[in-house]
A and B are shown apart, each in its own frame.
Chain A
Amino acid sequence: MFQSLGDRLQSVFDGLRGRGRLTEADVKAALREVRVALLEADVNLEVAREFTNRVQEKAIGSDVLMSLQPDQRVIAIVHDELKEVLGGKSVLPTLKSEGNVWLLMGLQGAGKTTTAGKLAYRYKAQGRRVLLVAADTQRPAARDQLRVLGEQIGVPVFEVRDGEAPASSAARLKDHLRKDFRDLVIVDTAGRLQIDDALMDELADLSERVEPSERILVVDAMTGQQSLPVATAFDQRIGVTGLIMSKLDGDARGGAALSAKHVTGKPIYFAGMSEKIDGLEPFHPDRVAGRILGMGDVLTLIEKAKALEGDDEDDDGQMRNLGDFSLQDMLTQMRRIKQMGSFTDVLKLIPGAGKIVPAGTNIDEREIGRVEAIISSMTEAERHTPRILNAARRKRIARGSGTTVQDVNRLINNYEEMRKLMKRMGKRAPRRGARPGLRG
């Protein structure tokens, strides 16, 4: 798995500790690591080079060399710069009161049709009268896909005919809109290679005819070095006004976002975060910056946790002190985490979890269900004083929860481990904030 940039820089600087000050050459060595990390995250070579040059200027010009924790300072500069390049804060597409036409374009398989459906769903929910236009006549059944999506979300779909010239489709569309007023039209186009002149011409023609207010390039988050030539070509030929990153819910680092943003200079509006129809979220540059650097995504985690605040169903879960952590507490905690999404997803958001949890670990979500069942089969007394769990009780619990006695034993052992850990953490608690910095 990827080594996070933090770890890489740490090892560079570790070798230098104790020498008092860092030299310019040391910073350059560190920036080489930054560049490799960016390349591993699929940031385009050119972009990575330019980026590290800029960071170098900033780092050498500032007081980094004198600071006590140069590694943390360099990471902070890199993080801020990344955030800046990615667009600073999140931006949404411009939306006028009427006459909005959004054109979606990109390579084959980038996720245009799915994104069109998600956009339609999102803006319909906000009270817009949305029309989807299925202009992908290349891929078999692409229009069917959009029609089905449209039916599911209750948005009408206007279909371009086979081999129809853009002029004719545009005219028919205008005609259609006169009869059926729509304030947001989303056009799903066929995927095409940026070097396919004929298809790019056709797209340019279509774009001219329908006069879109937004021309959105959909980029697959898993794209490698190609993101740069692709974004450049679409921008030059059609003119990109904004970007959407699809499939950012995988474990791709999403360096393509940086490259595409860099060449077009246009904002990234949304990120595709799941296959479901509501799986489109506003793009947060700071979070993706952390992700590219392998620093985890604490903000999303905090946001998820915040969304759950206030619906603590039972106060039993409130831990009175870290030492007495009961099975009931464990259950409450687990349920709370479960509400935040899949356990594996949540874990991914925690900085440093990449180090603790071995690469490729996948937490079986059903395991959590099993634990829930076991604890739920215990009496109040058993949950608070697991010591009383003798063989007979364990047998009863196994039967009640549809598991085996071994499962119950394993859970109790895990619980004991956890309790010991909690106790130790409780003792260590006063030494707070020993190491400020970005890494948790």
Chain B
Amino acid sequence: MSWFDRLRDGLNRTRAATFGGGRGAAWEMDWEDLEFALIGADVGAKLAATVVAEAKEERQRGTPFREALEKALLDQLEPDRMRQKLRRVGFNLDVSRNVIEPAGHVVMVVGVNGVGKTTTIAKLGHYYLEHGKSVMFAAGDTFRAAGSAQLAVWGERLGIPTVTGESGADPGAVAFDGASQRKARGTDLLIVDTAGRLHTKHNLMEELKKVKRVIAKADEREPRDVWLVLDAVTGQNGLEQARKFHEAVTLTGVVVTKLDGTAKGGILLPITRELGIPIKFIGVGEGKDDLQPYDAAAFVRALLDMPPVAA
């Protein structure tokens, strides 16, 4: 089963819930229904109107409905303005990336409470092990009761060494230990967990900045990546979350979890559109293999039940 098929399977329920059942080649939807479907997918009222207007325009040029919609959605999901322009003038950029390479050796993972940060880190660890990297964890969630135990259990299951701290310990200290140990051992990748925090809590966001600074102290120029984990059921508040975390620790990517339900993660559109942060992975199931590298083109095509673009 190719990863595209798996992605398509994972998005089956999402697709059915968003656009309804049968979609033959001649599939067409009422514009108003489409707008509501997009709002129902948490795209937000404003962007839904934009997507509909663009798809409509494209449709009037004679493009089949599904392709017109694909184009309009892709346009919104392209964080890079340059690439967006290229796409508009007709370049095909849809070459599926198979591996998401982190920029450096340390990835810090942040997010609000309950989005699935720790589970995602476990899946990321598994993913990079599979791709031949040596991996370490730093269990920086020292706030939640048994927060670091959760990651330690995962580390044990996956055979990934995990640096932990006492409950209530300074998360910066755990991150520092992790970063210096990674450097000493020459491990390829360290993934740093942090406690979930609401983006409106000033002090907690300051703490997060400190964790990032401290990592840089142990290992210069790291963490090169800071990824935000976002729950697919999040509504319009997701944009505000991403904005605040971006302001605090400069995000380099977003991982969307729990896309295996009927949630559509439509909030991805405003996030890529307004903040220009790329989506790195999407979680389409509970299994450890169900974290998929994200590719806007493949995502939209799988969502619209179209065959993958030949590489």
Interface residues in chain A, defined as those with a beta carbon under 8 Å from any beta carbon in chain B: 1, 36, 39-42, 44-45, 107-111, 114, 117, 139-142, 144-149, 152, 193-195, 220, 222-226, 229-230, 246-247, 249-253, 255-256, 275, 342, 344, 360, 362-365
Kindly specify which of B97-105, B140-148, B293-301 makes contact with the partner chain: B140-148
Contact A110 B234 (CB under 8 A): no
**Most A-side CB within 10 Å, residue of B44, B115, B147, B261:** B261
25 A-B pairs within 8 Å (CB atoms) are namely A39-B44, A40-B44, A40-B236, A41-B236, A42-B237, A45-B36, A108-B116, A109-B114, A109-B116, A111-B113, A117-B145, A140-B154, A141-B146, A145-B144, A148-B145, A220-B114, A222-B112, A223-B234, A224-B263, A225-B41, A226-B42, A247-B114, A250-B112, A250-B200, A255-B235
Contact B145 A109 (CB under 8 A): no
List 15 other contacts, CB 8 Å, given A108-B258, A148-B146. A1-B240, A41-B236, A45-B39, A107-B258, A139-B119, A140-B153, A141-B147, A141-B150, A144-B145, A223-B233, A226-B263, A247-B113, A249-B200, A250-B112, A250-B200
Contact B233 A107 (CB under 8 A): yes
Contact B112 A247 (CB under 8 A): yes
List the 4 closest A-B pairs by CB distance, nearest first: A224-B235, A109-B114, A42-B235, A148-B145
A36 vs B48: C-alpha distance when bound (angstroms): 12
A224 vs B271: C-alpha distance when bound (angstroms): 15
CB of B2 within 8 Å of the partner chain: no
Contact flag A224-B202 (CB < 8 Å), given A45-B40, A195-B262: no
Contact A250 B261 (CB under 8 A): no
Contact A39 B233 (CB under 8 A): no
Contact B261 A193 (CB under 8 A): yes
Contact flag A149-B145 (CB < 8 Å), given A224-B42, A256-B235: yes
Contact A144 B235 (CB under 8 A): no
Partner of A222, one of B13, B143, B234: B234
B243 partner residues in chain A, CB cutoff 8 A:
360
A255 vs B149: C-alpha distance when bound (angstroms): 34
Interface residues on B, range: 35 or more
Q: Per-residue 0/1 for B14-40: is the Cβ within 8 Å of any A Cβ (1 yes, 0 no)? A: 000100000000000000000010011
CB of B198 within 8 Å of the partner chain: yes
Contact B150 A225 (CB under 8 A): no
Contact flag A251-B237 (CB < 8 Å), given A109-B116, A360-B247: yes
A39 vs B35: C-alpha distance when bound (angstroms): 12
Count the A-B residue pairs with Cβ separation under 8 angstroms: how many? 144
B42 partner residues in chain A, CB cutoff 8 A:
42, 224-226
Contact A39 B13 (CB under 8 A): no
Partner of B237, one of A226, A246, A250: A250
A144 vs B149: C-alpha distance when bound (angstroms): 8
Closest residue of chain B to A107 (Cβ to Cβ) is B233
B145 partner residues in chain A, CB cutoff 8 A:
117, 144-146, 148-149, 152
Partner of A145, one of B147, B152, B199: B147
Contact A109 B231 (CB under 8 A): yes
CB of B79 within 8 Å of the partner chain: no
Contact A40 B45 (CB under 8 A): yes
Contact B150 A140 (CB under 8 A): yes
Nearest CB in chain A: distance from B50 CB, A:
14
Partner of B150, one of A39, A44, A139, A220: A139
Contact B113 A109 (CB under 8 A): yes
Closest residue of chain B to A151 (Cβ to Cβ) is B145
A316 vs B87: C-alpha distance when bound (angstroms): 68
Determine the main DSSP class of A at the interface with B.
Answer: loop
Chain B contacts with A in 85-121, Cβ cutoff 8 A: 112-116, 119
Contact flag A224-B236 (CB < 8 Å), given A45-B40, A193-B260: yes
A195 vs B144: C-alpha distance when bound (angstroms): 28
Partner of B202, one of A41, A230, A344: A344
Contact A250 B199 (CB under 8 A): yes
Nearest CB in chain A: distance from B202 CB, A:
5
A320 vs B231: C-alpha distance when bound (angstroms): 53
A224 partner residues in chain B, CB cutoff 8 A:
42, 233-236, 238, 263, 266-267
Nearest CB in chain A: distance from B16 CB, A:
11
A216 vs B72: C-alpha distance when bound (angstroms): 41
Contact B112 A141 (CB under 8 A): no
Partner of A342, one of B116, B202, B262, B266: B202
B143 partner residues in chain A, CB cutoff 8 A:
275
Contact B235 A223 (CB under 8 A): yes
Contact B233 A226 (CB under 8 A): yes
A413 vs B218: C-alpha distance when bound (angstroms): 42
Contact flag A222-B238 (CB < 8 Å), given A39-B39, A194-B261: yes
Nearest CB in chain B: distance from A308 CB, A:
22
B241 partner residues in chain A, CB cutoff 8 A:
222
A255 partner residues in chain B, CB cutoff 8 A:
235
A36 vs B150: C-alpha distance when bound (angstroms): 41
Q: Per-residue 0/1 for B221-251: is the Cβ within 8 Å of any A Cβ (1 yes, 0 no)? A: 0000000000101111110110110010000
Nearest CB in chain B: distance from A66 CB, A:
31
A246 partner residues in chain B, CB cutoff 8 A:
114
A110 partner residues in chain B, CB cutoff 8 A:
114
Nearest CB in chain A: distance from B146 CB, A:
4
B198 partner residues in chain A, CB cutoff 8 A:
247, 249-250
A255 vs B112: C-alpha distance when bound (angstroms): 18
Contact B237 A141 (CB under 8 A): no
A222 partner residues in chain B, CB cutoff 8 A:
112, 231, 234-235, 237-238, 241
A360 vs B116: C-alpha distance when bound (angstroms): 25
Closest residue of chain B to A45 (Cβ to Cβ) is B40
CB of B167 within 8 Å of the partner chain: yes
Chain B contacts with A in 40-58, Cβ cutoff 8 A: 40-42, 44-45
A146 vs B241: C-alpha distance when bound (angstroms): 27
